[in-house]
Chains A and B, each alone.
Chain A
Amino acid sequence: MHATETLFQTLATAAPQASPPQGPGWAMLIPALPLIGCVLAGLCAAFKVKSKFPAWLSVGCLATSFALTLNLYLQHFSGGNGPVLITTAFEWINLQWGPAEGQQLVANFGFYLDSLTVLWMLFVTGLATLIALYASEYMSHDVGAGYCRFFAAFNLFVFSMACLVMADNLLLLYLGWEGVGLCSYLLIGYFYKKPSAVAAAKKAFIVNRIGDLFLALGIFLTFVHFGSVEYAVIFEKAAPYIASLQAGNLDQIPAVVQLIPLLLMVGAFGKSAQLPLYVWLPDAMEGPTPVSALIHAATMVTAGVFLIARTYPLFLLSDHALPIVGWVGALTALFAATIGMAQFDIKRIMAYSTVSQLGYMFAGLAVLTPSGGAAHVFTHAFFKAMLFLSCGAVMHGFAGQLDLRKLSGVGKLPGWKVVNIAMLVGCLNLAGFPLITAGYWSKDLILGEAFANPHTAAIGWILLLTAGLTAYYTFRVYFRVFMGPVSFEPGDENHDAAHAAHGHDAAHAAAHSHTTHDASPPLAEAQVEAEHPHAHTPHPAHQDFHPHAPGWAINTVLATLAIASFAAIFAVHSFGSSPSWLESMVGGSSAHYTGVAAYQAAHESHATPAATPSTADATPGNDPVPTTPESGLTTPDTHADAHAHGNHQLFFGFDAHKALMVVSGVVGAIGIFFAWLLHLRGRTTAAYSDADKLIPALGPIPKLAQHKWYIDEIYDALIRRPLRGLAHAFHLIDQFLVDGLVNIFGALPRWVGATVRPSQSGEMHGYALGMAGGIAVLLVIVLLASN
């Protein structure tokens, strides 16, 4: 690790750039290790390694990175609110073109270590390790160059994400931002021979690009106004604005500063798939499932949330930024939920649920609970990853089959127990089943805060409705796929055994032709299958189709995630008067800068969470109730000050937080009930359920929802076609005008020559005439000139 030594040396000689103290030098290994993993995986590709060695390398690097992050947490931030430390790896950009203050651009490869960073890095590296382990088995059919390529891109992604999260300046964040976009492109397009995958990769990249443009503009504007792109300097310079915010003088904040968050937020929308830039995320499911799980559930899509949380002080300074974020988030949540209700591809449903939940996170940030938003990020990362990995296990086992009309009763098959439980836990979290799931608590933080504030009550109602829809469609998936009669069809990847499977089915059907009730042929087949379960045998050796039960790696990861989902309850919810662990982590960072309370006061809103670490231990306004993990009737102390401000919205006469705990639980239960009613009760086949009888009664809505409200088609007509036309026009301009101009320059000598050449006729008379004519003209000129 010679590189590390040189890094240490540069660190030793580098002077601290800003006032925060120097962080530990080994912290730069946290992003460096995935990068090393990427390089090693690339070398494996060069050396044509054909085993699972790259996977173990990746898991090793990522696990070490996670261990280092844990160490960092324990050493510096275990109390929650830790100091801000900056570790500089090396000097990257240092330009000075003038003596004045705004004429220097410093952007070092430095890492801004505060509790928000550590929180994010903990789950990023942790999930990356687990999912790398999962992918080692999931991608095992592709060992060789593809395997190495996958892990190289995977590691590069983690490195980019680490740069994004740990950056101490906006330029490094942008580097990471672009890096994750690139890796997303590489990984979605992993199956590059499939046109749909390539198209999806391009779509993701291009739509992200639109957001990235606005992010870049925001960074430019930040530099122009604040004279620096480093967080420390920006926050320092923003302090006067915060002060004027606290004093209630909003008009002292210049319009430029108010514009910055508006630009940054569009970038966040692009990366985190909010309206209108969400269209890439469902198509991104073309990539392998580990990719979907890590990137499009847990890490990359939360980059937008992270950006807003990191630059929260700037967002507070703007009048309109946070309300726009809130509305966009809420509408996205509702919109995506409606689409998810009508899809049949389970991964797509999960993708839309990701979009929907991201909307929740943004709404959380907007209703001034950045800790609520971060909490939802945290819990969502675990349970969504778990959901995706379970779907992936199903896909892996059933040769690519993902249509819930073709799968049923998977949970009853042997070898699928762990997947079944993991799926159930994930679905419960996603639906927000009361009390026992972390998803419930984190969602409740957001909902409660939304209703506690009269201005955001509308957002709250939308989110509540969405919660019900979420519960419905989540359990629709679970009840259709994992419960009910056992019946399945293999997917498209099962080419060799397809015919044999059909033959087998036909034979079984003939053998059991005495069936009188519906369930027997599939059940009989399932019984036959159950007698000889297969696990880990390659497909071509099979004569008939057996579902491929997951191996130890997948099961281990799913189990770990399930346990982590439960453990997250303790991280997110505080059971005493002190703030929860997550609350304190977020509270000690820039996301909970001193301005929040002032924002509330200045914007005449009420009920803010605790603003500063100094006010974190304010007097609680409620009587502490004896706490048990299950009762959850204690409100976290972060809301204490809310009551101290008095006069906050009551939810139909009850205290908002407590009421919402009950209401959201009820809403979730109702959703689950309807799902059971329509999709499990009395269902005998995989393909149809009672819901299908309901569809005609709803008119055109289900059709529209199934077609994703034709958003892609609208974009095609509104944006792609005009751009295409423009491109054609430019092509014509290029061909005729530009090329024409150049050709004219080429043709000009030719024309001149063709015009002049006849004068060289070789005939004496022509020359004589020319001579005489020339003299005549000359003399005329002399005559006229001498007049």
Chain B
Amino acid sequence: MDTILNPFLLYGLIALGAIGVCIALPRRKGGPQIFGALIAAAAGGLAVAFLTLKAGKDFPNVYFYIFSGVALGAALRVITHPRPVYAALYFILTIIATAGLFLILSAEFMAFALVIVYAGAILITYLFVIMLATQAPEEDEIEVLTDYDASAREPIAATVVGFLLLAVLTTLLFRGVNQLPPIPINRTDGLLADMPRKVDRVLRNHGVLNEGQTAKVILTDDGRLEAIQISANDGADVFALPRDQWPAELPVKNVEALGFNLLRDHPGTIEIAGVILLMAMLGAVVLSRKQVQLDEDAKLKQARLLSDDVEGNEGTAAAQTPSFARPTGGIPR
């Protein structure tokens, strides 16, 4: 097939999506964001539908559609929601959907690594900072939405540029996909040869291997798993274990394969990653090393305010800002 999708169709859908996103972006007067979201969703859905139609029998799993729909919808909400906290939360949803996509792609480790690291650490940090850096509300407006949150800046220009880029990307992408080289042979199972203890343990757990027997993995010439040879400890009684007797746990798991790949093929990168993390940690410590000194008066004042606030909301709500967010005098800015 020459093109995966008819270009006019593709660009038309992209244009539709652009319009939708543009409408969906937040604006001061609170426009029809939902309407835009619907349009964008329709466009995206149609595009994926056409792709699937084109796929014929090779269409992906239904879970792909679910997860990708959630991911894209949440991503759209991230960029269009006026409130920062909600945007962060929608981002977490995106992460979870993306983790689902990873699962479908047989990358389990990546899936839970994503959830743990990204959603569990990075986004929590973001939430902390959002709450840290929120401006104190005025006396008469308790919950205020700042101007820069409420309105998007140059939505049309941003959308146009973005979707132009999307059009180009997808065109190149689909063109590239057409020209991919043939799929290589799966040689993952050959890694079993590097895990003799696992083979041994699994076979023993399943009773295939008895005392006094040794298992050995035989590989083909190009590294694929050919057979498991069981022999007596002294090398007699060699026979190949038939395939139907192989335990279900025997094949190489994703984590194991990933581990081998990571540590065997890319050892230096791990070191560098470690250094990067170290530097980030140090940097964060250095940057945020500000002595926040509250003098006694401010502390008293703060305490009084808090107690007042418990009784009833006064006009002094202006002092609701967490004190640790605002360093008092003596600190150079």
Binding site for B on A (CB under 8 A): 765, 769, 772-773, 775-776, 779-780, 783
The chain A residue sitting closest to B172, CB to CB, is A783
- Assuming the contacts A772-B162, A772-B165, asked whether A779 and B172 have C-beta atoms less than 8 A apart, the reply is yes
Q: Could you tell me the distance in whole angstroms from the C-beta of B254 to the nearest C-beta in chain A?
A: 34
Q: Could you tell me the distance in whole angstroms from the C-beta of B108 to the nearest C-beta in chain A?
A: 34
B158 engages A779 (CB within 8 Å): no
B168 engages A769 (CB within 8 Å): no
A769 engages B169 (CB within 8 Å): no
- Assuming the contacts A769-B158, A772-B162, asked whether A779 and B168 have C-beta atoms less than 8 A apart, the reply is yes
Residues of B within 8 A of A776 (CB): 161, 164-165, 168
A780 engages B164 (CB within 8 Å): yes
A-B contact count (CB 8 A): 26
The chain B residue sitting closest to A784, CB to CB, is B168
Residues of A within 8 A of B171 (CB): 783
Q: Could you tell me the distance in whole angstroms from the C-beta of A786 to the nearest C-beta in chain B?
A: 9
B172 engages A769 (CB within 8 Å): no
Inter-chain CA distance A779–B171, complex, in Å, is 10
Q: Could you tell me the distance in whole angstroms from the C-beta of B149 to the nearest C-beta in chain A?
A: 14
- Cβ of B153 < 8 Å from any Cβ of A? yes
Residues of A within 8 A of B158 (CB): 769
**Contact residue range for chain B?**
10 to 19
A772-B161, A783-B171 given; 8 more Cβ-contact pairs under 8 Å: A769-B157, A769-B158, A772-B162, A776-B165, A776-B168, A779-B165, A779-B172, A780-B164
- Assuming the contacts A769-B161, A772-B161, A772-B162, asked whether A780 and B154 have C-beta atoms less than 8 A apart, the reply is no
Inter-chain CA distance A99–B158, complex, in Å, is 78
- 5 A-B Cβ contacts within 8 A? A765-B154, A772-B161, A775-B165, A776-B165, A783-B171
Chain B, residues 151-183, CB within 8 Å of chain A (1/0): the string is 001100110011011001101100000000000
Q: Could you tell me the distance in whole angstroms from the C-beta of A98 to the nearest C-beta in chain B?
A: 68
Residues of A within 8 A of B162 (CB): 772
Inter-chain CA distance A118–B181, complex, in Å, is 110
A765 engages B153 (CB within 8 Å): yes
Residues of B within 8 A of A779 (CB): 165, 168-169, 172
The chain B residue sitting closest to A780, CB to CB, is B168
Residues of A within 8 A of B161 (CB): 769, 772-773, 776
Inter-chain CA distance A773–B158, complex, in Å, is 9
The 9 closest A-B pairs by CB, nearest first: A779-B168, A776-B164, A776-B165, A773-B161, A772-B161, A765-B153, A776-B161, A783-B168, A780-B168
Q: Could you tell me the distance in whole angstroms from the C-beta of B237 to the nearest C-beta in chain A?
A: 63
Inter-chain CA distance A776–B153, complex, in Å, is 19
Inter-chain CA distance A769–B156, complex, in Å, is 11
B165 engages A769 (CB within 8 Å): no
Inter-chain CA distance A769–B162, complex, in Å, is 9
The chain A residue sitting closest to B165, CB to CB, is A776
Inter-chain CA distance A772–B158, complex, in Å, is 9
Inter-chain CA distance A773–B161, complex, in Å, is 5
Inter-chain CA distance A380–B332, complex, in Å, is 108
Residues of A within 8 A of B164 (CB): 773, 776, 780
Inter-chain CA distance A769–B157, complex, in Å, is 8
Residues of B within 8 A of A775 (CB): 165
Among the interface residues A765, A769, A772, A776, which one has the most CB atoms of the partner chain B within 10 A? A776
Chain B, residues 48-83, CB within 8 Å of chain A (1/0): the string is 000000000000000000000000000000000000
Inter-chain CA distance A765–B158, complex, in Å, is 9
Q: Could you tell me the distance in whole angstroms from the C-beta of A536 to the nearest C-beta in chain B?
A: 100
Inter-chain CA distance A776–B164, complex, in Å, is 6
Inter-chain CA distance A780–B167, complex, in Å, is 9
Inter-chain CA distance A179–B139, complex, in Å, is 99
Inter-chain CA distance A780–B168, complex, in Å, is 6
Inter-chain CA distance A783–B172, complex, in Å, is 7
Inter-chain CA distance A493–B201, complex, in Å, is 142
The chain A residue sitting closest to B157, CB to CB, is A769
Among the interface residues B154, B165, B171, B172, which one has the most CB atoms of the partner chain A within 10 A? B165
Residues of B within 8 A of A769 (CB): 154, 157-158, 161
Inter-chain CA distance A783–B162, complex, in Å, is 16
The chain B residue sitting closest to A763, CB to CB, is B153
Q: Could you tell me the distance in whole angstroms from the C-beta of B178 to the nearest C-beta in chain A?
A: 14
Q: Could you tell me the distance in whole angstroms from the C-beta of A118 to the nearest C-beta in chain B?
A: 96
Residues of A within 8 A of B153 (CB): 765
Residues of A within 8 A of B168 (CB): 776, 779-780, 783
Inter-chain CA distance A257–B160, complex, in Å, is 80
Q: Could you tell me the distance in whole angstroms from the C-beta of B187 to the nearest C-beta in chain A?
A: 34
Inter-chain CA distance A780–B172, complex, in Å, is 10
Inter-chain CA distance A456–B269, complex, in Å, is 118
Residues of B within 8 A of A772 (CB): 161-162, 165
Q: Could you tell me the distance in whole angstroms from the C-beta of A765 to the nearest C-beta in chain B?
A: 5
Residues of B within 8 A of A773 (CB): 157, 161, 164
Q: Could you tell me the distance in whole angstroms from the C-beta of B126 to the nearest C-beta in chain A?
A: 19
Residues of A within 8 A of B165 (CB): 772, 775-776, 779
Residues of A within 8 A of B172 (CB): 779, 783
